[in-house]
Structure 1
């Protein structure tokens, strides 16, 4: 099936509507009490703060990983160290680039379900940049600047293309605390695709200007994920934390 046929099927199905779960892809994951959350580029662990508060209110033990954003291997290792501390079944959630880390580290036997929030979800060994090039180039890409080996997003691009639905004052604070990433991080390829063996959930950001929404839909469809569509920028975990927390609760087996 080519991309045009795939998008036609999505349109015919109505993509389950805004915030709607795709019935045919629903999963019934085991109950978990732990959640490990991983941030992507242009962010740090604090981007999960509002989601964490809601998960804690639901009785879940939530931990945000401070992703080093140096190499894929070192980022995966940081997640593995946090997973090792968990005392039982755990949901592993990743935003944006961290979807690659979730796919790699998610094979850990403690991980019972995976959650992807506007995230990369390549197959094992897949060239994600090549896959992304089959879709329109997102506007945020033009806003990446480098200081030697380290990249970051300009404030203009951050406010417009990364966090467009976040109040400006807060978006400026988020821009100020972003963790620069090393160029070598982008060269990494996953060796595992945990979504092939674990129940998976995906939140598509329909107004995303950082990862093309149709690319997100393709990846969610390919992994047979329980999928929701959120009318949000790339950072739905910040602009609509209640929606993302609810999806994670479902992945943890909470009604």
Structure 2
């Protein structure tokens, strides 16, 4: 990739208990600025399946792209981000394991989050408890938006959290992080630790775990900053 090539491609990867529709505000903001934005629909059935879904979208890009992940999507972009079309990574209140680590390990040593309640079915797939959904996932949304997110959530195969990543793209690609300071899905210290460890440029914003919805303008600004700087960033 040439250092003079402008980055106009953005690929957005959603997290657990969600689908790609929550990116609408980020999508509208960036496309209005002239970016070509693609949204991955993760099946949430395994890490390999989600990485494959992301890779299929990356294969369609016509040049360098910024790869963005929210929450569990951070684990996905950490693995998929080694793709040759990825110029930079943006972690949106997202997980960031190292090679050989699994997602569950990222929680070790940090405070629990009692408002984030996962109900696991007999088949091993988890949903966020509907009664606790707004408090744990989307406390700063309207009741109507929280209800939509709650009722459109996608279950995740809980075994994914025990699957280690093989590659850590953040070791070779410049990274940015947007952290919700009122996130009740992750301990704040955990989010700050992960973002600092990967050397990300950090932007803090007062928001819930659904910051990609409620703070879409801030998230879009960070993505645009990444697009403007990824190819000349020195790690």
Does structure 1 retain, via aligned residues, the 8 Å contact 2:133–2:150? yes
Residues 4-83 of structure 1 aligned to structure 2 (within 5 Å): 31-83=6-58
Please give the alpha-carbon distance, in whole angstroms, between the structure 2 residues aligned to 1:29 and 1:213. Answer: 37
Deviation string for 1:107-151 (max 9, x for gaps)? 11110000000000011111432331200011244x111222221
Corresponding residue of 1:123: 98
**TM-score, with structure 2 as normaliser:** 0.92
SS at match of 1:253: helix
Residue 84 of structure 1: which of 59, 74, 77 is its match? 59
Please give the alpha-carbon distance, in whole angstroms, between the structure 1 residues aligned to 2:221 and 2:88. Answer: 14
Residues 174-193 of structure 1 aligned to structure 2 (within 5 Å): 174-193=149-168
Deviation string for 1:50-81 (max 9, x for gaps)? 10000100100111100000000111000000
Corresponding residue of 1:250: 225
Corresponding residue of 1:236: 211
Does structure 2 retain, via aligned residues, the 8 Å contact 1:113–1:251? yes
Please give the alpha-carbon distance, in whole angstroms, between the structure 2 residues aligned to 1:128 and 1:177. Answer: 24
- How far did residue 29 of structure 1 move? 10
Corresponding residue of 1:145: 119
Size of the alignment, in residue pairs?
226
Unaligned segments of structure 1, at least 5 residues: 1-27
Please give the alpha-carbon distance, in whole angstroms, between the structure 2 residues aligned to 1:157 and 1:32. Answer: 40
Q: Which runs of 4+ in 1 moved over 6 A?
A: none
Residues 212-231 of structure 1 aligned to structure 2 (within 5 Å): 212-231=187-206
Corresponding residue of 2:232: none
Task: Give the 3 Å change call, closer, same or farther, for CA 140–190 of structure 1 in structure 2.
Answer: farther
Does structure 1 retain, via aligned residues, the 8 Å contact 2:99–2:164? yes
Please give the alpha-carbon distance, in whole angstroms, between the structure 2 residues aligned to 1:131 and 1:176. Answer: 28
Please give the alpha-carbon distance, in whole angstroms, between the structure 2 residues aligned to 1:29 and 1:99. Answer: 27
Please give the alpha-carbon distance, in whole angstroms, between the structure 2 residues aligned to 1:94 and 1:30. Answer: 23
Q: Greater share of helix residues, 1 or 2?
A: 1
Corresponding residue of 1:99: 74
Residue 108 of structure 1: which of 62, 68, 83 is its match? 83
